[in-house]
Structure 1
Amino acid sequence: MTPNDVLSMYEQIAGLTNNMVAAARSSDWDRLSALENECASTASATLVGAVPALSGAPRMRKIDLLKQILANDREIGNITEPWMTQLSKVMPAPRAHR
């Protein structure tokens, strides 16, 4: 993976998380779920250690993208957590198996 590939991946993830915020704001849970899966698939390269370290301007761009991704994640959580709390109140609790 080249430095340009790294930045491209983070740009794509940032775009996906922007779309996830929009889906959450419109309560489009199916789209949010699909985008979440696409985001996880795109980010899978970071899990195998194949991402080279960046320096200089590319490193700063990567940091800016990570800040954007984290801000989007917070916004999605702010939207979905109250909804999940409401859902858990109306869903029956799972019963323990004996």
Structure 2
Amino acid sequence: MAVITDQMLRAANDNDWDRLTQLEQQCALHVRQLKEHEPQPLAGAARVKKVDAIRRMLAADRQIRDLTTPWMARLSALISNTSTERRVARAYGI
């Protein structure tokens, strides 16, 4: 999952929203698989490695949100403007 999360961050940095969506789906699949198989608790170096990977994923997730939030706001505004234009056109028979 950490590798996928790194790829998601690169896609977001590149404004490659289609790739980001594909990678999000892959990540969700991994999460479902992990939940189904309930891995055994880790100890020692394996636990430290897992904690480090989780921290990296959370940091990447934060950066992805920082990149996608403005894009989503612009998209929402565009959709809103298009909807308004359609309502006006219908109201006035344009």
The verdict on a shared fold, with TM-score over 0.5 as the criterion, is yes
Structure 1 residue runs of 5 or longer lacking an equivalent are 1-12, 94-98
Deviation at 1:49, TM superposition (A): 5.7
Paired residue total: 81
Which has more radius of gyration?
Answer: 2
1:19 aligns with 2:7: yes
Render the CA deviation track for 1:23-71: whole Å, top value 9, x for unaligned. Answer: 0011111100001111111221332361211111100100000000001
What amino acid is the match of 1:32? L
- Structure 2 equivalent of residue 61 of structure 1: 49
Structure 2 residue runs of 5 or longer lacking an equivalent are 84-94
What amino acid is the match of 2:54? L
Q: By percentage of residues, which structure has more helix?
A: 2
- Structure 1 equivalent of residue 19 of structure 2: 31
C-alpha distance in structure 2 between counterparts of 1:46 and 1:85, whole Å: 33
Q: Percent sequence identity over matched residues? A: 38
What amino acid is the match of 2:51? I
C-alpha distance in structure 2 between counterparts of 1:45 and 1:38, whole Å: 11
C-alpha distance in structure 2 between counterparts of 1:48 and 1:15, whole Å: 21
